[in-house]
Amino acid sequence: MIRELHAFPGGLPLAHYMEWTCGEESLLQPLPARIVLPLQQHIGLPATPIVNMGDKVLKGQKIAAASGYVSVSIHASTSGTVTDIGDHPAPHPAGITARCIVIEPDGEDHWYDIRPVDEYTTVDPRRLQEVIRDCGISGLGGAGFPAHVKINEGVENAVDTLIINGVECEPYITCDDRLIQEKASYVVAGTRMIGHAVQAKHRVIAVESDMPAAYAALARLVGDDIELVQVPARYPAGGEKQLIQVITGKEVPCGGLAIHIGILVQNVATAAAVYRAVTRGEPVVSRYVTVAGAVPRPRNLQVLLGTPVTDCLRTCGYEPQPGERIILGGPMMGQHLRSTDVPITKTSNCILVQQEPEPAVELPCIRCGNCATACPIRLLPQQLYLDTRAGNYDAARQHHLFDCIECGCCSYVCPSHIPLVQYYRHAKSHISAEERRRDGADHARSRFEARNDRLRADASAETQRESAGNTASANSEYVRAAVERTLARRQARDAGPDGETGSHD
């Protein structure tokens, strides 16, 4: 039975430029002079270091532990010595630093004592979840959401359909395409393992219609337990909500999650990482990265996490040129890098070199409606722009600001060159910071009030003790006086008329 596909609203037909890199075999990126591993490579809380400076570590050894439920561990991507635990440049549009663990490789690349699990079909699904969590697997498609959290939610809520997302809708990016062509067996086996972990009724692997080699590689391996589908090449078909709508016809409710409608989505690279984790015990220590654009030798590289971006560019023959910009990610949703010293992380899927465009003058909105037509979420980008530009963040939230996936379709079609997504990102950051500040103030207030309650309770207890002590003292005085009066009466009774003690002859 061929699955019926559906359309999603909005979106754009974009030239993909995939032919530059998808046909060439990937290269192993050489070992760098140093490895820089940020503790925050995923959505949620950063990992907590469990090593010290000067420690010798092995490849695959856990060096930072998950610090909460929505967090994942970090593992050494090669063997060597920990030379620093501190702030270093990290991938961020503002060019800020982040806390990192720095390893000086010893060149041996010795593995830690990793262990596979038993045959996965005989293992309790919760055991598979533990393996996925312990191996530090987060979404490798770019979002970076901890995989074990999604899978656990799938166990708690019945999963009807598991979708493995191999749709690369941004131009230039072909790392998943190349991964599928070279490791199709990993993807298929990982799909079955995730399906077993969540007991999914249906399992689907989706690729884009312009990925024929990847489709053929998967078609040779899938069986009746997995559906293989090709979705139309329209940006952003690889977005989670858009892909769900294309494959199932269902829409994720506003403010809701895919699991709320019985669907779980994972990336093909995540599925391959699950296969490695289960069959070999390997944590995530490397990933495929596309290097494309204005470089002499565009290619997909297999890169150890923590490798500087500049090393990857050098492998592809790139030398910095004036008037060029480096983007980490694709041209639509990627971030401009202020320095190429930043490391490759779990969410780094592409390094793109482009000519710096001529600065466009932001003109007033002409209310053409192009942005609303292109929006794949059916939002009102023009209204969101007015709200966020005026600082009316409450109104922006009411217009579903946080449902925006920042795909950039609205900015792309705007004839006034308004950087709409930048306004939305700024507003989201402001709201999130305000919520953190308010939560911190509420937490401090709660602690202050709890302290005051405790002090009042202690004072009340002390008063009660003093009162009890005074009462006991008063009672003691009363008893002593009573005893003295009794003794005095007895002595008076026993005394004679002359006041002497009477005697009997």
Cis peptide before 236 (omega within 30 of 0): yes
Rg (alpha carbons) of the chain, rounded to whole number:
33
| Any domain includes 347 | no
CA distance 242 to 409: 13
| Coil, strand or helix at 74 | strand
Claim to verify: residue 289 and residue 413 sit in the same structural domain: no
pTM: 0.84
Claim to verify: residue 383 and residue 241 sit in the same structural domain: no
CA distance 179 to 205: 14
Which distant-in-sequence residues (6+ apart) come within 8 Å of 116 by Cβ? 278, 279, 280, 281
Sheet holding 335-336, edge to edge: 27-28, 299-304, 286-293, 350-355, 324-328, 335-336
Provide the residue range defining the domain that includes 295.
18-315
Q: Check: CB of residue 186 under 8 Å from CB of residue 221.
A: no
Claim to verify: residue 311 and residue 376 sit in the same structural domain: no
Residue with tokens 């999650």: 257
CA distance 425 to 434: 14
Per-residue pLDDT of the chain (505 residues; tens, 9 = 90+): 678 999 999 999 998 899 889 899 999 999 999 999 999 988 888 999 999 999 999 999 999 999 888 889 999 999 999 999 999 998 876 778 899 999 999 999 999 988 887 677 777 777 888 888 889 898 887 777 888 888 887 777 789 999 999 998 899 999 999 999 999 999 999 999 999 888 899 999 999 999 999 999 999 999 899 999 999 999 999 999 999 999 999 999 888 889 889 999 999 999 999 999 999 899 999 999 999 999 999 999 999 999 999 999 999 999 998 989 999 999 999 999 988 999 999 999 999 999 988 888 999 999 999 999 999 999 999 999 999 999 999 999 999 999 999 999 999 999 999 999 999 999 998 998 888 787 777 777 777 778 788 888 877 777 777 776 666 666 677 777 777 777 777 777 776 555 554 444 4
| Any domain includes 399 | yes
| Any domain includes 410 | yes
| Any domain includes 343 | no
| CATH at 44 | 3.40.50.11540
Strand ranges (E), 315-459: 324-328, 335-336, 350-355
The count of domains in the chain is 2
pLDDT of residue 473: 67
Determine phi and psi for 264, rounding to 5 degrees: -125, 130
